[in-house]
Chains A and B, each alone.
Chain A
Amino acid sequence: MGLVVSAFLAVYLDEAVYSVASIASTLILVALLYSLNGASYAAVFQLGMSAGTIAILFLSGETLSKKITQRGSLRKTFAVTVVAILLSIPSIIFSTGTTSAIASSEVSFPEALWNLRSIDIVLQGLVVMTVALGVAIVLYSKKEGDN
């Protein structure tokens, strides 16, 4: 329920800082959900990735967005929270019970990662590095153009 409420508030709230704080709590709750379902590696990766994402979103939200002068009423925010709680009810009712994946799995996670998906992992690293270089080149050329 907290996951859905924080996600809905992240989309609804106008102030960038509150919105980013809500998405931070959403991502942390997702990591908690992974951990509770036995996917501990996924939880650790999710926490690491969310830390980076939140830092970048905070910085860009603070620097690039204008401050909202008019504040939304508390009653409206409360109504939105109630709507979000109502939205979370179907996912609570239709949720399926899960068991721990580590205990009875045929292939362990490191084996699956390095023996079966090793080429993918290396290629993903290359893709991320290429995108980072591309973004850096675009921003650098823009800076040169400004000068």
Chain B
Amino acid sequence: MTLLIIGIYGLLTKQRLLKILISIELIATAASMNFVLLASSLNKTMGQAFLILAFSTDTCVTGIVLALLILISKKYGTADIRKLAELEWREAVENEKDKNTTDGVDG
């Protein structure tokens, strides 16, 4: 439960993509830990078998987020999500301006 809270705190407050990935890892670890420990306390080994499913999902999430991290860092030169949002917004405004000027020239 505490790991889950720490992961959600990191997800909500941190801006760097690496920290967000670490927070997602913590949340996934908390979920799988609850699962295994509950199954262990009930003397069921199926919990460990289901853990494989959690691991494969976790691996997929990590792979996709890392690919995004690499792409974004190379394209924009930053991994800060606030700066990225600002850059996207500026890009949209500039595109809108370009569109308006070309419409004016055509008209």
A34 to B32, CA, bound (A): 11
Is A45 within 8 A of B67, CB to CB? no
Residues of A within 8 A of B16 (CB): 65
Is A128 within 8 A of B40, CB to CB? no
Is B45 within 8 A of A112, CB to CB? yes
Q: Which residue of A lies closest to B9 (CB)?
A: A11
Residues of B within 8 A of A77 (CB): none
Residues of B within 8 A of A121 (CB): 52
Nearest-neighbour CB distance to chain B for A51, whole angstroms, equals 12
The B interface, classified by DSSP as helix, strand, loop or mixed, is: helix
A3 to B70, CA, bound (A): 29
Is A7 within 8 A of B45, CB to CB? no
A49 to B19, CA, bound (A): 19
Interface residues on chain A, size class: 35 or more
Number of B residues with CB within 8 Å of any CB on chain A: 51
Residues of B within 8 A of A52 (CB): 59
Task: Pick the contact of B51: A45, A87, A146 (CB < 8 A).
Answer: A45
Residues of B within 8 A of A104 (CB): 43
The A interface, classified by DSSP as helix, strand, loop or mixed, is: helix
Give residues 63-96 of B contacting A (CB, 8 Å): 63-64, 66-67, 69-71, 73-74, 79
A125 to B29, CA, bound (A): 20
Nearest-neighbour CB distance to chain B for A88, whole angstroms, equals 6
Residues of A within 8 A of B2 (CB): 4, 7, 87-88, 90-91
A61 to B21, CA, bound (A): 11
Name B's A-contacting residues (CB within 8 A): 1-3, 5-7, 9-10, 14, 16, 18-19, 21-23, 25-26, 29, 33, 36-37, 39-41, 43-53, 55-56, 58-60, 62-64, 66-67, 69-71, 73-74, 79
Q: Besides the contacts A124-B52, A142-B71, what 15 more A-B pairs have beta carbons closer than 8 Å?
A: A11-B26, A20-B22, A30-B29, A34-B33, A41-B48, A52-B59, A53-B62, A60-B70, A99-B43, A101-B43, A105-B45, A113-B52, A131-B63, A135-B64, A142-B74
Name A's B-contacting residues (CB within 8 A): 3-4, 7-8, 10-11, 16, 19-20, 23, 26-27, 30, 33-34, 37-39, 41-42, 45, 49, 52-53, 56-57, 60-61, 64-65, 87-88, 90-91, 96, 98-105, 107-109, 112-113, 116-117, 120-121, 124-125, 127-128, 131-132, 135, 138-139, 142, 146
